[in-house]
A and B are shown apart, each in its own frame.
Chain A
């Protein structure tokens, strides 16, 4: 906002995403207060509070403490609901006590907020819900995203997301799922589900069309926030820290992932000075925390691989033998052909291109990779490293025939033109 500063200078700037994050917090809080069967009521009260701000602040200005203002209005809205709905008559004293507890400054307010949100995320990841229901419900309630925003992030229609939400809420009501955190084995399973949803969210955002939809980049931020919420809570397990480390390392690279022209820049070509140092530091800190205990998950290994990249000041300093060993570990935990392909890239740096091409030849027989554009793409890269531009070009053409995103397609074209300058299509 340009302009000289004057005594009447505005408006307290609003913290980025304040409304969205407060919406999520307040929905979690009110769902706890009203009871999980009244989730939709909680959402209504919160939406009304935000609308009041939208209608009021343009005239009165942004209040000194916008979050507190929203909370107060939401509380009053909740009290109104109490008066109007007979369903709450029996519990009204208890609910009023809960509502006012938030304003009691002798309570450790910070934990109370995070506790509500944590319970909400765990509820949204209940095993009775399908994965896409868990993701949609988490984003809508704790995330504070709207139906159109979620729809655009996942490239589906608003109606599809609405349906997922309706079904998810109905399932939770029918099974009377509550906000109590599970124990023992149930907790372990639920935590796995929560981490899965969080990582799904993160990947959705990370693989966003370069330069395009900003909402999808916000998904990375939200995933990281939820991950830290879990990792900092009493129910955290080493895997939680490993996941946060992995996401932090990847998110650190986001500023370098897209160039000035909006084109995708791969890891080995990124300007590493653009990597977010704070996030890299968070990654190392969380990786450290994740090593407390015997548990070793795929998140641990992926985070360790990302850490090796993060620790290399230039691509040439990358310790590829270490990465190769880690990929061996990863493959042992999860024998996926996609991981085998990624391992092949590391293998090429350690044992040479031909060794990698041998592995790729085997992978080409795997039907799981039949439509995976990265297989011919990686092969093309390796062949062009060998100097066989003709064969490389053929690989890139094969890759272009397979599904991939627009920025990736443009990258493939660039590679193709490097091998075959006459290619104009």
Chain B
């Protein structure tokens, strides 16, 4: 089955007023969501990225330049990714629908991993 990368963009304002109880419920939902995929053998990888904008490396005017990554208080930040297996884009999207990441304003970018 094809693989898809889920890029999880965080909304920086998300968890301002969330209570400990609610946070626990969200984590429990994540565990349930992840378990469903794991039990079907469809969860391949997942990592959190560190909370800083990182660096951008590019060649410009004949030189390699390094700048700070995109940072903005209001813009979404890439928080982490998963690589899952699904039969089609539609199915990958179905899997993303009930990902708890969406509950507090986050977005999920879904891209198919190209197998050549």
Contact surface of A with B, Cβ cutoff 8 Å: 1, 3-4, 6, 8-11, 14, 17-20, 22-23, 50-51, 53-62, 144-149, 218
* A149→B18 CA distance, assembly (Å): 10
B35 on the interface (CB 8 Å rule)? yes
A46 — nearest CB in chain B belongs to which residue? B20
- Interface residues in B8-34 by Cβ distance below 8 A to A read 15, 17-24, 26-28, 30-32, 34
When the two chains form the complex, which single residue of A23, A54, A148, A149 contacts B26, counting CB atoms closer than 8 Å?
A: A54
Q: How many A-B residue pairs have CB under 8 A?
A: 89
A24 — nearest CB in chain B belongs to which residue? B20
Cross-chain contact A20 with B48 (CB below 8 angstroms): no
* A4→B60 CA distance, assembly (Å): 54
**9 A-B contacts (beta carbon < 8 Å):** A3-B39, A11-B35, A18-B24, A20-B24, A22-B20, A54-B27, A58-B48, A59-B80, A148-B19
When the two chains form the complex, which single residue of A22, A62, A149, A218 contacts B27, counting CB atoms closer than 8 Å?
A: A62
Cross-chain contact A20 with B20 (CB below 8 angstroms): yes
Q: How far is the CB of A212 from chain B (nearest CB, A)?
A: 16
Flag B62-101 by CB within 8 Å of A: 1 or 0 each.
0000000000000000011010000000000000000011
Cross-chain contact B35 with A58 (CB below 8 angstroms): no
B47 on the interface (CB 8 Å rule)? yes
* A14→B20 CA distance, assembly (Å): 13
Cross-chain contact B23 with A50 (CB below 8 angstroms): yes
- Of B26, B31, B34, B51, the most chain A CB neighbours within 10 A belong to B31
Cross-chain contact B34 with A11 (CB below 8 angstroms): yes
Cross-chain contact B21 with A20 (CB below 8 angstroms): yes
Known: A11-B34, A57-B27. A147 touches B20 (CB 8 A): no
Q: How far is the CB of A148 from chain B (nearest CB, A)?
A: 6
* A198→B107 CA distance, assembly (Å): 42
Q: Which residues of B contact A56 (CB under 8 A)?
A: 48
- Of B23, B27, B80, the most chain A CB neighbours within 10 A belong to B27
* A19→B34 CA distance, assembly (Å): 20
Cross-chain contact A14 with B48 (CB below 8 angstroms): no
Q: Which residues of B contact A17 (CB under 8 A)?
A: 21, 24
* A11→B38 CA distance, assembly (Å): 11
Cross-chain contact B21 with A145 (CB below 8 angstroms): yes
Q: Which residues of B contact A50 (CB under 8 A)?
A: 20, 23
B46 on the interface (CB 8 Å rule)? yes
B36 on the interface (CB 8 Å rule)? yes
Cross-chain contact A146 with B27 (CB below 8 angstroms): no
Known: A3-B36, A146-B17, A148-B17. A19 touches B31 (CB 8 A): no
* A105→B21 CA distance, assembly (Å): 28
Q: How far is the CB of B10 from chain A (nearest CB, A)?
A: 8
Cross-chain contact A54 with B35 (CB below 8 angstroms): no
* A11→B36 CA distance, assembly (Å): 12
B43 — nearest CB in chain A belongs to which residue? A8
Q: Which residues of B contact A23 (CB under 8 A)?
A: 20
Q: Which residues of A contact B27 (CB under 8 A)?
A: 14, 19, 53-54, 57-58, 62
When the two chains form the complex, which single residue of B20, B39, B48, B82 contacts A19, counting CB atoms closer than 8 Å?
A: B20
* A11→B17 CA distance, assembly (Å): 26
Q: Which residues of B contact A1 (CB under 8 A)?
A: 31-32, 35
Cross-chain contact A10 with B15 (CB below 8 angstroms): no
Q: How far is the CB of B114 from chain A (nearest CB, A)?
A: 24
Cross-chain contact A11 with B19 (CB below 8 angstroms): no
When the two chains form the complex, which single residue of B28, B35, B100 contacts A14, counting CB atoms closer than 8 Å?
A: B28
Cross-chain contact A58 with B34 (CB below 8 angstroms): yes
* A58→B35 CA distance, assembly (Å): 11
Q: How far is the CB of A413 from chain B (nearest CB, A)?
A: 34
* A148→B17 CA distance, assembly (Å): 8
* A252→B17 CA distance, assembly (Å): 33
A26 — nearest CB in chain B belongs to which residue? B20
When the two chains form the complex, which single residue of B23, B39, B51, B80 contacts A53, counting CB atoms closer than 8 Å?
A: B23
When the two chains form the complex, which single residue of B23, B34, B82 contacts A51, counting CB atoms closer than 8 Å?
A: B23
Known: A53-B27, A54-B15, A55-B48. A19 touches B36 (CB 8 A): no
Q: Which residues of A contact B35 (CB under 8 A)?
A: 1, 3, 9-11
Q: Which residues of B contact A54 (CB under 8 A)?
A: 15, 23, 26-27
- Of B20, B27, B34, the most chain A CB neighbours within 10 A belong to B20
